[in-house]
Amino acid sequence: MKKCLRCNISVSTKTDRCPLCHGILSQGDHSEAEQSYPMFKQRKSRKQVFLIAGSIVSAALVATTIALNALTWNGKLWSAVFAAFVLYAWGLGWITLKKELSLGMKLSAHAVAIALLLIDVNAFAFSQETVSHITWSVSYGMPIVFVSFLVVANILVVAKRHMLRDILLYQLAFCAAAFMPLILMISIAMEPIQPSIAAAFFSYLNVMGLIVFANRTIASEFGRKFHI
Amino acid sequence: MDGLQIGNSRWYKLDNAAHIYPAMRNASDSCVFRIAANLDHVIDPECLQRAVVDLKPRFPSMYVRLKSGLFWNYCEYNEKNPVVRPEPPYVNHNIDSHENNNYLFTFYYYNRRISMEAFHSLCDGYGAMEMLKAILFRYFELKGHKMENNGLVMTASQTPDPREIEDSFIKNYTSSKRERATVKRAYHIRGSRLVLREGIGVITGRVQTSALLSLAKKCGATLTQYLAAALTFCISSTEDAKKSDKPVNICVPVNMRKICDSQTLRNFTLFFYTSAEGRMEFSELVETLKTQFETGLNKANLQRTLNANVAMERNLGLRMVPLFIKNAGIRVVLSNLDNKIKTATISNLGQVALPPSMSGMVRDFSVHLPMGSKSTHGVGVISCGGVTTISFSRSIYETDIEKLFFTFLSGEGLDISIQSNFREG
């Protein structure tokens, strides 16, 4: 044990400095001297640099695209599509890498983002300008996206039973979302309506399946998530 | 227990104190505390891992994961097993629940030390200490030692008592008088902030319990009163504090188990504040703090504080508010009110009683308090086997308070040895 003569205190350390006064310690008995704590190492975080550089590059690209779109204007706002893709890429990276988010949350965020992206592409780049600007994205895109994610969620639950509780509420959310295209198609009176009907039917079958096979889990999960 | 179901689907609502920590947790405020035991031999990680897994059925309120509901957070049974790790250089660092199999505690090993770091929503110091003792007991058993319990340690073979997992805040709530003590805005210790996401600064002092107790008795004070007075005295003797017209307020956690006859392993702690304005002689300060301790530890006063805290949680309007709004509210209230009334915290876990078969193998314990973004110093005190450890946790580089404190005790004739994690540079 070393001694700080200035503080009149024994110090158990391998270093020569007193942690209190930073004075030189007198050399004492080395028998008990062991590193009290693991060596501290400064963390080198490159995440911040990548984020700043990425933001600047993305903003520059979006600004250039908007400028090009304005200079070569042909009646279509195609730069909005590019901006949406850049935003989606950022969102994709952030959501996928965020460790705290659950798998269900990540799947839901991706499903919503892809659906919005399709609507954006349809509205600004490939609009047929018939009844609505978003015909194919709502009639085909949204049903396919939500049903696909619902299938992925089902496969996950079948493959890993213990994930049921984690994914259950998101499964129900996908089921609700899969009804949305049908509601939109009816309310705007768009054609073709068949994919939306198929998606809604698949969603209905899913809800029924969950009620039959996982009714207790559903009740328990609702009790937890919505307890006041 | 409120909300608890038996079987793999078990879950429970957070207790009154546990609600605030998920909202407060961020990169600079981990809300994690550490309890560590120094043994007489280098730790065997494999035995420690087995001990931690073996105790899973014994502590149903501990082996859980934190989940978010629409209105409140809750804890549910964690099917995965916890994993012990080598101790990192960062004390009380944010628990990465993803890497930690979603557990709210982690067991670390380093040389002769076993450390348990726990997120405060899970338990308070008492609960963590009971679990650490049980893990140590099982660890020694697995190492081949003949162990005798004497009823001082919870063992893997016991069935959990429902009283250990109850929400004692709710149980002891009465709808009668409710009132929180008003506390003046406190003086804050100034210094260069450590990068808190990289851990806190720690300096631990070891003294003979008997010598420290005799010093306290000489002043007619308890150990906690004496150390709180010494801490206040040292803080108020700094040049910066002398210039300030604000009082030095020390936050003192109170273990409510003895007062309310509870055995819960979850949070059951309330706080009171001692306050000292202007420069006082040490003896005068001890007398002032003794009076404040008497008021602070008064059962009726604590009951009123408990009632006020629980009444807020039970308010129907507040209960119906979505969780993300509640979290934002908690952050605003605590950063603007709670942190402003506190200069430092001192928490004395008291004397740890170990069975004779264990006491020879455990050299001492230490407690490291969590450090928030606003408060700069926390002092954890614990005694075992004739040794009292006084652990300073700090969020600034400067060690002036620690120096004043330990040289003060040394000046009173105590033989002190210290250890540091050398975050001071």
pLDDT in tens, chain B (425 residues): 444 443 445 899 999 999 999 998 887 788 999 999 999 999 999 999 999 999 999 999 999 999 999 999 999 999 899 999 999 988 998 888 778 899 999 999 999 999 999 999 999 999 999 999 999 999 999 999 999 988 899 999 999 998 999 999 999 999 888 888 888 899 999 998 887 666 789 999 999 999 999 999 999 999 999 999 999 999 999 999 999 999 999 999 999 999 999 999 999 999 999 999 888 899 999 999 999 999 999 999 999 999 999 999 999 999 999 999 999 998 888 877 777 899 999 999 999 999 999 989 999 999 999 987 677 899 999 999 999 999 999 999 899 999 999 999 999 999 999 999 876 65
- Interface-testing mutation among B1, B74, B366, B419, with chain A (most A C-beta atoms within 10 A): B419
Contacts of A7 in chain B (CB under 8 A): 403, 406-407, 410
Question: Do A97 and A202 belong together in one domain?
Answer: yes
Given this chain, do its domains B11-156+164-171 and B196-301+341-420 carry the same CATH topology?
A: yes
CA distance B326 to B74: 14
B residues 258-297 near A, CB within 8 Å?
Answer: none
Question: Do A192 and A127 belong together in one domain?
Answer: yes
| ipTM, interface predicted TM-score of the complex | 0.82
Nearest alpha carbon to residue B256 among B301, B311, B291:
B301
Quick one: pLDDT at residue B275? 95
Is the C-alpha dihedral spanning B277, B278, B280, B282 positive or negative? positive
Question: Do A197 and A122 belong together in one domain?
Answer: yes
Whether the CB of A45 is below 8 Å from some CB of chain B: the reply is: no
Q: How near does any CA of chain A get to the CA of B298, in Å?
A: 32
Residue A63 domain flag? no
Residue A62 domain flag? no
C-beta separation of A170 from A110 below 8 A: no
Question: Do A84 and A25 belong together in one domain?
Answer: no
Going residue by residue through chain A, which has 228 residues, state the pLDDT in tens, using 9 for 90 and above. 888 988 999 998 888 889 999 888 887 765 555 678 887 766 666 777 888 888 899 899 999 999 998 898 877 788 888 888 888 888 888 888 877 788 888 999 999 988 888 888 887 776 555 545 667 788 888 889 999 999 999 999 888 887 888 888 899 999 998 888 888 888 876 777 888 899 999 999 999 999 998 888 888 888 898 998
Question: Do A179 and A99 belong together in one domain?
Answer: yes
Q: What are φ and ψ of residue B27, in 5° steps?
A: -60, -30
Nearest chain B alpha carbon to A42: B198
Task: Report CB contact under 8 Å: B87, A22.
Answer: no
Contacts of A104 in chain B (CB under 8 A): none
B residues 313-352 near A, CB within 8 Å?
Answer: 319-320
CA distance A156 to A168: 11
Q: What is the DSSP string of A130-186?
A: SS-TTHHIIIIIHHHHHHHHHHHHHHHHHH-GGGHHHHHHHHHHHHHHHHHHHHHHH
- Interface-testing mutation among B208, B394, B407, with chain A (most A C-beta atoms within 10 A): B407
Say which CATH architecture domain B196-301+341-420 belongs to.
2-Layer Sandwich (3.30)
Quick one: pLDDT at residue B6? 39
Q: How near does any CA of chain B get to the CA of A219, in Å?
A: 11
C-beta separation of B13 from B23 below 8 A: no
Residue A203 domain flag? yes
**Structure tokens that stand for B204 in this block:** 């631990």
Amino acid at B234: C
Residue A94 domain flag? yes
Nearest chain B alpha carbon to A12: B419
Please tell me whether residue A26 adopts helix, strand or coil conformation.
strand
CA distance A205 to B222: 69
Nearest chain A alpha carbon to B401: A20
Question: Do A101 and A194 belong together in one domain?
Answer: yes
Quick one: pLDDT at residue A85? 87
Q: Which residues pair with A131 in a beta bridge?
A: none
Domain spans, chain B: 11-156+164-171, 196-301+341-420
Arithmetic mean of pLDDT over chain A: 84
Quick one: pLDDT at residue A36? 83
The CATH class for the domain spanning B11-156+164-171 reads: alpha beta
Residue A105 domain flag? yes
Task: Report CB contact under 8 Å: A36, B415.
Answer: no
Counted domains in chain A:
2
Task: Report CB contact under 8 Å: B403, A220.
Answer: no
Task: Report CB contact under 8 Å: A19, B13.
Answer: no
Nearest chain B alpha carbon to A99: B98
Quick one: pLDDT at residue B169? 95
pLDDT tens for each residue of A94-129: 888 877 788 888 999 999 988 888 888 887 776 555
Count of CB pairs separated by less than 8 Å, A with B: 109
Question: Do A24 and A94 belong together in one domain?
Answer: no
Amino acid at A191: E
What count of Cα atoms within 13 Å lies in the side-chain half-sphere of residue A111? 26
User: What is the domain range of residue A180?
Assistant: 77-225
Question: Do A145 and A101 belong together in one domain?
Answer: yes
Whether the CB of B208 is below 8 Å from some CB of chain A: the reply is: no
Contacts of A22 in chain B (CB under 8 A): 424
